[in-house]
Amino acid sequence: MKYSVSVFGLGFVGITTALAFAEKNHTVYGFDVDTKRTSLLKAGQLPFLEQGLDQALVRHINNKFMITDNAEDAVKNSDFVFLCVGTPSGERGEADLSYIFSAIEKFASVLHDGKHRVIVIKSTVPPSTTSERVIPHLKKMGLSPGDMFSVANNPEFLREGKCWDDAMHADRIVCGVEDRKGEDMLRSLYSDFDAPFFNVSLNTGEYIKYLSNTLLATMISYSNEMSKIADVIGDIQIKEAFEILHMDRRWGGSNMASYVFPGCGYGGYCLPKDTQAMYAASVSKGYEPMILKDVITINESMPQFMANKVMHVVNPSETLGILGLSFKPGSDDVRDSSSAKIIKLLLAAGYRNFIAYDPVANEAFDGQYHFSELEYCESLQSICEKSDALVLITAWQEFAGIDKKYPDKPFIDCRYFL
Ligand SMILES: NC(=O)c1ccc[n+]([C@@H]2O[C@H](COP(=O)([O-])OP(=O)(O)OC[C@H]3O[C@@H](n4cnc5c(N)ncnc54)[C@H](O)[C@@H]3O)[C@@H](O)[C@H]2O)c1
Ligand SMILES: O=c1ccn([C@@H]2O[C@H](COP(=O)(O)OP(=O)(O)O[C@H]3O[C@H](CO)[C@@H](O)[C@H](O)[C@H]3O)[C@@H](O)[C@H]2O)c(=O)[nH]1
């Protein structure tokens, strides 16, 4: 069965979702409030670096994937409405749902027309959001799920840098949906994907997403805490110790082992905000999660821990070379990047001479952070030659072994990579 699908919010998740359904021959309408972004997409250009997704866009734009400025028309024609808008951190770390509600406003009037649709929340939202926030919100607007429409959640597990591959070869499809019609339609929509489909309660669907991200964050903070312990004891080869830990055959060669490795803290758009949101959601229900509180505290302490290491080796008058600006290798996303946090701390400590190099993210970093003290280099060689000391913050493969080429320069390796 081929369907029509509307996708609201055309970021990493929305574009990937839209193109994955287009690839399976469904008709997809994409809507975003950011007109600069929609113009780029209409011209077949991705607003960020994402291997595989760029070619999928060229294959499907203005064919199976249409960008529209008219949200209501898109939904009128659709069997499914996927909400893929951002859910950033609110003031107390809670998930800010305002983009979800404003997206709903844009098409709610269409839901009375007698056609049964499934409204699917793909954005990451804390457990009980669909049941206690979204459905009551719709009911207040005079819209009760049932004959008119179904409401479901369908968390996304893709990683940036691997969006296309993760979506096309998903490990599992999770749908929180509690009515038969909605479940049947979602099963049918996903039947072309070679992945097991799990139908769970609304709260369970949302919970599974946070199980995943809070565990990843916990593994990283555990490793960072162990690296701090190693540091105070002294004479411990931290990188080798973790590599030998990974040789335990109980890991089964799993890629998960890479999260049990120290660095300068987790960043990006998901792990920090999702760990905070799960903590806040639990506190709001009356239980303060002890482990998550420490996971967050350790993560927030890591930039200072690394800045202290820099201050130990480099004088404020010297020129510091920052290697890596994106939040992880393979991506030009600079949201919650460790480099920005470490530069801010060093600026506060009186350091003024910074130069930086990232293979793909110089421009994005400058656009987001506007550090007037920071100059950008166009090559690894030029930053190494111009700096008195280098601070490696993003473990790009290009940086492997660079310390051997410049044996006289101090390298502060915040990722235990060299
Ligand atoms: N980035 C990831 O790796 C990833 C992976 C899994 C899940 N998620 C979750 O998916 C959601 C989206 O994340 P993202 O990284 O794609 O975000 P993003 O910031 O890249 O994109 C969100 C898009 O939504 C648009 N938008 C905001 N309000 C809108 C509205 N009312 N109508 C239509 N569009 C609107 C924005 O303009 C933006 O283009 C978040 O909840 C995130 O936690 C992200
Ligand atoms: O082996 C690794 C991989 C990542 N990281 C760090 O962990 C953070 C997150 O990295 P990663 O998980 O690769 O990136 P995201 O694209 O943010 O993906 C995470 O967040 C997404 C949004 O919720 C989820 O869908 C993904 O499953 C989850 O991995 C970054 O700071 C990385 O530096 C490590 O320390 N070791």
How far, in Å, CA of 104 to CA of 106, rounded? 5
Enumerate residues lining ligand 1, CB below 6 A.
8-14, 31-34, 37, 84-87, 99, 102-103, 123-124, 156, 158, 160, 269-270
Report CA(406)–ligand 2 centroid distance (Å): 31
pLDDT digits (tens, 9 = 90+) for 67-109: 999 999 999 999 999 999 999 999 999 999 999 999 999 999 9
pLDDT at 55: 98
pLDDT at 254: 81
pLDDT digits (tens, 9 = 90+) for 130-179: 999 999 999 999 999 998 899 999 999 999 999 999 999 999 999 999 99
Q: Which residues of 208-245 are buried (b: 16+ CB within 10 A; e: fewer)?
A: bbbebbbebbbbbbbbbbbbeebeeeeeeebeeebeee
- The ligand with the least distance to the CA atom of 268 is 2
pLDDT greater than 90 at residue 252: no
Report CA(122)–ligand 1 centroid distance (Å): 9
pLDDT greater than 80 at residue 41: yes
Is 259 assigned to a binding site?
yes
Higher pLDDT, 28 or 112: 28
Cβ partners under 8 Å of residue 159, min gap 6? 166
Distance between start and end Cα atoms, the chain: 52
From 153, 227, 270, 333, the mutation candidate for ligand 2 (largest count of ligand atoms within 8 A of CB) is 270
Q: What is the rounded average pLDDT of the residues 370-374? A: 94
Cβ partners under 8 Å of residue 165, min gap 6? 52
CB 179 within 8 Å of CB 145: yes
255 pLDDT tier (thresholds 50, 70, 90): confident
ipTM of this predicted structure: 0.98
Q: Which residues are catalytic?
A: 270
- The ligand with the least distance to the CA atom of 154 is 1
Q: What is the rounded average pLDDT of the residues 175-191? A: 98
**Homologous superfamily of the 4-200 domain (CATH):** NAD(P)-binding Rossmann-like Domain (3.40.50.720)
pLDDT greater than 90 at residue 357: yes
* Residue 40: strand pairing partners: none
CATH class, domain 210-413, is alpha beta
pLDDT at 253: 77
pLDDT greater than 80 at residue 115: yes
Is 273 assigned to a binding site?
yes
CB 414 within 8 Å of CB 393: yes
pLDDT digits (tens, 9 = 90+) for 305-355: 999 999 999 999 999 999 999 999 999 999 999 999 999 999 999 999 999
pLDDT digits (tens, 9 = 90+) for 214-225: 999 999 999 999
Enumerate residues lining ligand 2, CB below 6 A.
124, 156-160, 212-213, 216, 220, 258-259, 261, 263, 266-268, 270-271, 274, 327-328
pLDDT at 107: 96
Is 210-413 in the same CATH topology as 4-200?
yes
Domain boundaries, the chain: 4-200, 210-413
Q: What is the rounded average pLDDT of the residues 358-378? A: 97
pLDDT at 150: 98
pLDDT digits (tens, 9 = 90+) for 49-59: 999 999 999 99
Q: What percent of the chain has pLDDT over 90?
A: 97
pLDDT at 171: 97
